[in-house]
Structure 1
């Protein structure tokens, strides 16, 4: 008697690759819009007559927007479906980005960037829910982890594009640089045209015929609902009921490790020159050191993406938090170390924290059921942006008040706290079907084997 082939066991096809491209846009835009404002601030500040308060407000406006957008996106994605919400972010990006060409006041710029941030916040839950609900299980972790690399790619493109536009010496160069994200938004909108609704979400809403049609369209006529693993719980529980049933601990785990791992990263990433200067690195050491540290963050994410299936989620997270915390601890103990050693420790932190960074989008998508998956990602996104704001705006104060050594001790303490919470609550989901990963009954200590790959070849989408 032949075994029914799960769609989580099929080979990667053209649709999966296209969906990965479609969903990576949100992370790319996030990195782009958060970085382009830093590039243009020296030019736009005198043009709009900004004081220090307005500079700070405009700098954090997108982060505030992401905070609210994460909650909103999670709620709407779970209630209204994935496909409709998939186009809200690109629409907000395009309209608000092009509007920056005509901005004449600090308040208007603040509001436009707030709306862009809301669009980014909406992106995370819908884009990642789409990916996790369609991808075969062996590709789920690496593809979700790869979204973090896209954030740094967006930031890098923003720096390059922004500097190139500003170097043109055009009197309105800063406006053009800010509006440049319009092109990305329009491209994102176009490539998402034709995306079907999630079959899992349709099935949860009782729309079985539509779910069946989506499965056949993507995987071929030989596939149907019998090939879609069913989630064990058929109870229609509310968001609060699900949290009380045991998912509340998982939500606490996601919010804690995500937020705590973001705070030191944003502090180091955003203030690398200032931090290095506090450690007495100046001139070429500081300039090239900042570039090297930024590059090593990307390297760390790439290595972690490669390891996410090989080490398993739990092991990768615990090791990443442990060794990155120790790197911060060493920086605190030896703030006056030779320049080369300081850069080595900073570089070590940038590489080692890659595991915690890439798992920020993997864990919340795997350990929650369809009913609250997007809501969990949205909640984690929102809380992490509080961490980003804390890490970005307390670092200068901390450097002045308690010094670089104690600042690194605080960062290490935050990372160690994330480690303790993760050791207590992090489950292992490697090799599990999406149903088993989201179940409260799966073992937190050991993962099953990845299973057998299917020999059935779905037709290309």
Structure 2
């Protein structure tokens, strides 16, 4: 098509003194320029775009890190403070309660005042409360510190994933969002090994909880030059600022496709029309996907011991092995989401995850290799659903409420995770590990049935197309 337009332009090149033909030639030449211009969806990934993805994924890393580390730290905290089961559960669940509030308010503020401002504030706050955790002297102080860490970790999800979605071309979106999911598992895996290293250190729990300040400092340095989202600026009517950023990041041959600008972010839009159905689907799906995972990570050593994988260091190593399965499974899922599509991968993955948990539930006294196989099957195929809990809400809502939708979907799921994290040690004590795994399998099956009826396909579509589905 471009060659044909160029030929027309050459034919239309007028001799001097023929203004009508000159006008036609000018219009054709202008059309030629329009044809070769690209949109944000057409560009290739550059080192700077990869940097945005990498440092935006840091909040997810911190979530996995602080959540998994508390499971190991509790093995020291419980005897140090002589905690009851209820206090232990409260410390484990407090971060999830913080995430619940953080995702809602963080998502709304991100849509109101911008991605970049919130992008910096939340990382500073996580670092501050991580350091304060070192000086806690009562269980209540730990609960409060963990709550605020969770609140700012939760706020980072809608901030960072919106920024990634709005900068990343459509062919790379599943891979970039897959980095968010992989970062969670990486954070949890690193936490397991940090916990293992500090397990025998006196007051090691303080250094475990305070160590989160180190990735916070690294992320703060990496995030300082990441600009505001041009799609958010354009949606707020700040078109010229948006174009400056587009040309700086993507080049002068890239054109910004504008959405209809709005002046005020209305959270109620998430619950209107077809968006209500989407938010319910995403909230329930995320709940079914993360409740078993959060319970396993928060009380990993206890669960590993219940399966006969040893005590202390041995149980922590068992949790580390399961965490590696989660991390490894997220890598091929990034590419399968593009080759297989969102919907088929989601349904197939949930089915295999359920099989792994059913094996664990029915055979809690099985040999170690069967237990590892069950956990491995569940963890490896969690990769696809784990990515989609971030990818789907960013694709299915417009820029005006994208971060709010991410926040609400996560908050909805955290209602279940708060209850599950508080109830897991109590349920384990009352009924044993087998029934606990069967309840987890039931949740995954619920997510599977829901996905069969409601999961959309958003592969190869721009953000404008997916939000209009």
Normalising by the residue count of structure 2, what TM-score does the alignment of the two structures yield?
Answer: 0.85
In the alignment, structure 1 residue 238 sits paired with structure 2 residue 250: no
The two structures, once aligned, show a CA RMSD in angstroms of 2.6
Corresponding pairs, count: 435
The alpha-carbon deviation at position 232 of structure 1 amounts to 6.7
1:449 matched to which residue of 2? none
Match of 1:262 in 2: 290
- Report deviation, 1:18: 1.1
Correspondence 1:354 to 2:392: no
Residue 199 (structure 1) aligns with:
230
Supply the distance in 2 between the matched residues of 1:61 and 1:289 (Cα, whole angstroms). Answer: 25
Q: 1:343 to 1:237 in 2, by over 3 A?
A: closer
Matched, 1:434 2:434: no
The verdict on how the C-alpha distance between 1:379 and 1:47 changes in structure 2, with shifts beyond 3 A counting, is: same
Q: How does 1:286-435 map to 2 (within 5 A)?
A: 289-435=318-464
In 1: Cα distance, 2:150 partner to 2:265 partner: 31
Structure 1 residue 439, shift from structure 2 partner: 1.0
Task: Provide the C-alpha distance between the structure 1 equivalents of 2:424 and 2:330, rounded to a whole number of angstroms.
Answer: 24
Q: What is the CA–CA distance in structure 1 between the aligned matches of 2:208 and 2:354, rounded to whole Å?
A: 37
- Residue in 2 that maps onto 1:216: 247
Does residue 248 of the first structure (1) align with residue 276 of the second (2)?
yes
Structure 2 CA distance for aligned equivalents of residues 208 and 308 of structure 1: 33
List aligned pairs for 1:114-125, cutoff 5 A.
114-125=147-158
The answer as to whether partners of 1:285 and 1:339 remain within 8 angstroms in 2 is no
Do the aligned partners of 2:196 and 2:317 also contact (CA within 8 Å) in 1? no
Query: TM (normalized to structure 1)?
Result: 0.86
SS in 1 for 2:227: coil
Closer, same or farther: CA 242–167 of 1 in aligned 2, 3 Å: closer
Q: CA deviation at 1:275?
A: 4.3
For residue 338 of structure 1, report the CA deviation from its aligned partner. Answer: 4.3
Partner of 1:229: 257
User: Would you say the 8 A contact 1:229–1:435 is kept in 2?
Assistant: no
Other-structure match for 2:39: 6
1:151 to partner: Cα distance: 1.1
- In 2: Cα distance, 1:163 partner to 1:280 partner: 18
Number of the residue aligned with 2:20: none
Structure 1 residue 242 displacement after superposition: 4.7
CA distance 1:36–1:343, shift in 2 (3 Å): closer
Q: By how many angstroms is 1:309 displaced?
A: 0.9
Cα offsets for 1:222-248 (capped at 9, x unmatched): 33xxx2233479797833245322111
* CA 1:311–1:107: 2 relative to 1, 3 Å: same
Give the aligned partner of residue 75 of structure 1.
108
| Selected match of 2:221 from 184, 190, 197 | 190
2:95 maps to: 62
Distance in 2 between residues matched to 1:10 and 1:18, nearest whole Å: 16
Shift of 1:412: 2.3
Identify the match of residue 181 of structure 1 among 187, 194, 212: 212
Cα pair distance change 1:43/1:183, threshold 3 Å: same
CA distance in 1, matches of 2:67, 2:354: 26
- Change in 2 beyond 3 A, CA 1:351/1:250: same
Deviation at 1:277, TM superposition (A): 5.1
Q: Counterpart of 2:400 in 1: which secondary structure? A: coil
CA pair 212-146 structure 1, distance change in 2 beyond 3 A = same
Give CA deviations for 1:426-451 in whole Å, capped at 9, x if unaligned. Answer: 111111111111113xxxxxxxxxxx
Report if the CA contact (8 A) 1:369-1:435 is conserved: yes
Look up the match of 2:51.
18
Q: 2:172 aligns with which of 99, 119, 139?
A: 139
Structure 1, unaligned runs of 5 or more: 441-461
Instruction: Mark the CA change 1:245 to 1:238 in structure 2 (over 3 Å): closer, same or farther.
Output: farther
Alignment correspondent of 2:12: none
User: Is residue 263–residue 390 contact of structure 1 (8 Å, CA) maintained in 2?
Assistant: no
Distance 1:271 1:173 in 2: 18
SS in 2 for 1:122: helix
| Contact preservation (8 Å) 1:34, 1:155 | yes
Would the alpha carbon gap of residues 155 and 313 (structure 1) be closer, same or farther in structure 2, given more than 3 Å must change?
same
1:329 CA displacement: 3.0
Deviates more, 1:382-391 or 1:346-355: 382-391
Q: Equivalents in 2 of 1:254, 1:243: separation in Å?
A: 13
CA shift for structure 1 position 221: 2.8
Paired with 1:118 and 1:232, the residues of 2 have a C-alpha distance of 32
Contact 1:232–1:435 (8 Å) recurs in 2: no
CA 1:296–1:179 in structure 2 vs 1: closer, same or farther (change >3 Å)? same
Contact 2:71 2:299 in 1 (8 A): no
